[in-house]
Structure 1
Amino acid sequence: MEVRQMATAFLFNQDNVLMMKKERSKIFDFEFWGGIGGHLEYEELNHPKLASYREIEEETGFKKSEIKNFRLKYILIESGSGEIRQQYVYFGDTEHTNYISSDEGELFWIHKNDLLSLHMSKIIKFTIEHYLHNPNSEHIYVGIITTSKEQIPSIQWSMLEETSTF
């Protein structure tokens, strides 16, 4: 089984979030919405935050210096198509709304109240929903998506905490 590591960012400008609409991907063969991001390069495997900054600049033109309060909020894990997908999800703020066009998809500023009505992967929808209910949490959450016998997806959240085990 292979491991696919990715970094995704959601950038806020007041109550709006920069979202990307894509026609399709390696996983989905239909139009869907997501954050800004992509796969970690080999030299970034131990530095997903750097990968996230790189993806943001490539896909939006935003520089690291233009993003405030940028922090890891979620680590998502799911299995499918013979691989384990691990995704580091960051949230940050911007002071302006100017972005460059991207070959990866179309960018739009979407009001946070409209996010959950967008067609997106289940794991990202669960993540955005959790974030909107816990916007001021300082914790990092690990989310593992599962599917019931009836093929209904759900997510299990755990707070990531430092432990001292011997």
Structure 2
Amino acid sequence: MEIRQMATAFLIHQGKMLMMKKEKSKIFNFEFWGGIGGHMETNELNSPMEASYREIEEETGFKREEIKNFKLKYILLENNSGELRQQYVYFGETEHGNFIPSDEGELFWISKNELLDLHTSKIINLTLAHYLNDKNNIDNILVGVMMADNEFEPVIQWSTIKETVGF
């Protein structure tokens, strides 16, 4: 089984989230939306935050010092067509809303109440829905495992990562 590790960031400025619209990808031949990010390089496998900062600068022009409260919020796991995908999802705030045009797709600041109406992957849609509704546990890191329920509709099973006690 192939393993793909990715880092994704969602940046927030004045109540809006920076989203990227792509006309198509190597896998999909239709328009879809997502966060800022991509595959982790070999030298980044033990540092997904560094991969995320690299992707942010490459795709938006935002530098690390322009992003505040940048935190890992989710680790997503998904078995997709025989490929195990592990995605680290970060959220942060920008001090300004100016980004550079990206070769990866078009960037837009989207109001939070419009996010779930965008055509995103199911795993990103469910993650954004959880984030928008998670008012009490903002500092927790959650693991989300993508699964199909009894009617084969994809769902995410969430678990909070807690400090372990043991040896």
TM-score by shorter chain over 0.5: yes
Mapped to 2, the partners of 1:133 and 1:149 lie a distance apart of 24
Mapped to 2, the partners of 1:62 and 1:99 lie a distance apart of 7
Mapped to 1, the partners of 2:164 and 2:50 lie a distance apart of 26
| Residue number in structure 2 paired with 1:93 | 93
Task: Give the SS at the match of 1:150.
Answer: coil
| Residue number in structure 1 paired with 2:161 | 160
Shift of 1:135: 4.5
| Residue number in structure 2 paired with 1:79 | 79
Shift of 1:81: 1.9
Q: Which moved more, 1:72-81 or 1:23-32?
A: 23-32
Task: Give the SS at the match of 2:85.
Answer: strand
User: Residue 143 of structure 2 aligns to which amino acid in structure 1?
Assistant: V
User: Residue 53 of structure 2 aligns to which amino acid in structure 1?
Assistant: Y
| Residue number in structure 2 paired with 1:147 | 148
User: Residue 62 of structure 1 aligns to which amino acid in structure 2?
Assistant: F
Mapped to 1, the partners of 2:73 and 2:27 lie a distance apart of 23
Task: Give the SS at the match of 2:166.
Answer: coil
| Residue number in structure 2 paired with 1:104 | 104
Q: Does 1:130 align with 2:117?
A: no
User: Runs ≥4 in structure 1, deviation > 6 angstroms?
Assistant: none
Mapped to 2, the partners of 1:150 and 1:23 lie a distance apart of 30
Mapped to 1, the partners of 2:134 and 2:41 lie a distance apart of 31
Shift of 1:134: 1.3
How do 1:29-40 residues align onto structure 2 when only pairs under 5 Å count?
29-40=29-40
Mapped to 2, the partners of 1:14 and 1:144 lie a distance apart of 31
Task: Give the SS at the match of 1:59.
Answer: helix
Mapped to 1, the partners of 2:84 and 2:27 lie a distance apart of 12
How does the TM-score come out when normalised to structure 2? 0.96
User: Residue 4 of structure 2 aligns to which amino acid in structure 1?
Assistant: R
Q: Does 1:10 align with 2:7?
A: no
Structure 1 residues 165 and 27, CA gap change in structure 2 (3 angstroms): farther
Task: Give the SS at the match of 1:130.
Answer: helix
Taking only aligned residues, the RMSD between alpha carbons, in angstroms, comes to 1.1
Mapped to 2, the partners of 1:109 and 1:74 lie a distance apart of 21
Shift of 1:27: 3.5
Mapped to 2, the partners of 1:25 and 1:72 lie a distance apart of 26
Mapped to 1, the partners of 2:115 and 2:80 lie a distance apart of 25
* Structure 1: gaps spanning 5 or more residues: none
Aligned length: 166
